[in-house]
């Protein structure tokens, strides 16, 4: 196995609810290491680059607007199989059905909004991680 890196974002709903420390500590408790960390107010341009594959989809504009709504904490974590490991800790995309014990299962819910506010983002592959880390930590 080789050491991987992944991008983890604590989205505006996680930051505004004071869950940044909980999220980061859960990932660290799993044994992964933070190698970069910052709190940012994303620009539309950054988000357009990050979500480029979703342009034209019905949820695209509500998602960008949500991500512009407040600060985001961006982190790069490193470790063996960290991409898969973080996604396991995060839980499924839909917080209503995410398993208890996961970030989304313990702290997320459906708020009845146009876009799912599910607390965190994690890269889904090594290729996505490299691209996303380059966007957020240029």
Cβ neighbours of 61 (radius 10 Å)? 14
Strands 120-122 and 3-10: what pairing?
Answer: antiparallel
Would you say 9 and 74 are in contact if contact means Cβ atoms under 8 Å apart?
A: yes
Catalytic residue among 41, 50, 54, 121: 121
Would you say 7 and 123 are in contact if contact means Cβ atoms under 8 Å apart?
A: yes
50 is annotated as an active-site residue: no
Q: Which residues are catalytic?
A: 121
């Amino acid at each position: 196995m080789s050491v991987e890196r992944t991008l983890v974002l604590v989205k505006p709903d996680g930051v505004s609810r004071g869950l940044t420390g909980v999220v980061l500590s859960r990932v660290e408790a799993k044994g992964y290491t933070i190698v970069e960390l910052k709190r940012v107010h994303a620009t539309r341009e950054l988000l357009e680059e990050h979500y480029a594959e979703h342009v034209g989809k019905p949820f695209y504009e509500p998602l960008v607007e949500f991500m512009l709504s407040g600060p985001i904490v961006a982190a790069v974590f490193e470790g063996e199989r960290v991409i898969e490991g973080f996604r396991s800790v995060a839980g499924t995309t839909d917080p209503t059905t995410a398993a208890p014990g996961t970030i989304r299962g313990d702290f997320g819910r459906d708020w009845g909004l146009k876009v799912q506010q599910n607390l965190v983002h994690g890269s889904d592959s090594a290729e996505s991680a490299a691209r996303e880390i380059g966007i957020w930590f240029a």
